[in-house]
Amino acid sequence: MLRRQALGVPQVDAEVRQVATDMLRLMHEAPGVGLAAPQIGLPWRLFVANPTGDPADDRVYINPVLSKPVGPQQPYEEGCLSLPDIRVEVIRPFGITINALDINGQPFEAAADGLLARIWQHEFDHLNGRLIIDKMSRLDRVMNTKKIKGLELDYGMQG
C-alpha cells in the first residue's frame, strides 16, 4: 500500500470524517506529527498533521494539492512512523502552499514554511507512493542498510 498512488476521496462523508478522527488519534498515540491514509492501509488522498502536539492544532487534508514552493531547498532530518528507527536527511523547499478539503469537505488554501511545510510535503509523498528512503543520500543508505533490509523482508517492501 505504501508504494501505490492513492486515489482521490470522492466525497467527505461520515466514514471519511471518522477515519480522519481515528488517524488524528493514532498520530498522537504514536507519537507523530503527521499520518497519511496509505500508512493505515487506505488508498485515499488524505492525511492529518499537527506540528505542535496541541490538539487545537490538529488539521485534516483531503485531496491535497501542493504548489508554489518558496525559499531555498533545505536539508532536515526526517523520520517516518512507517519506517521505525530510520532517520534520513531530506532536502525540501522551505515553504509551500496547499489546497485541500477540510474534515467538513470545505475547500481551503494555506501557506506554510518550516516544519509544517515539511510535514505537508512528507505526507503528500505518501499519497504518491514515495518514502523517505527514496530520498536518501548514499551515506544515509549505507548507514541504514540493515534496517531497510529488515523492513523489506518483514513487509515485502521494495526500496
Residue-number span of the structural domain to which 24 is assigned: 14-155
Is residue 143 situated within a structural domain?
yes
Instruction: List the catalytic residue out of 29, 89, 123, 152.
Output: 123
Please tell me the distance from the alpha carbon of residue 61 to that of residue 99, in angstroms, as a whole number: 8
Give pLDDT, residue 1: 78
pLDDT digits (tens, 9 = 90+) for 27-78: 999 999 999 999 999 999 999 999 999 999 999 999 999 999 998 899 999 9
Residue 41's CATH number: 3.90.45.10
| 123 catalytic residue (yes or no) | yes
Residue 2 included in any domain:
no
Q: Is 105 inside a domain boundary?
A: yes
Per the structure, the count of domains in the chain is: 1
**pLDDT tens per residue, range 110-158:** 999 999 999 999 999 999 999 888 887 777 777 777 777 776 666 665 5
Asked whether the predicted pLDDT for residue 16 surpasses 60, the reply is: yes
Q: Considering the domain boundaries, does residue 9 fall inside one?
A: no
Q: Is residue 90 part of a domain?
A: yes
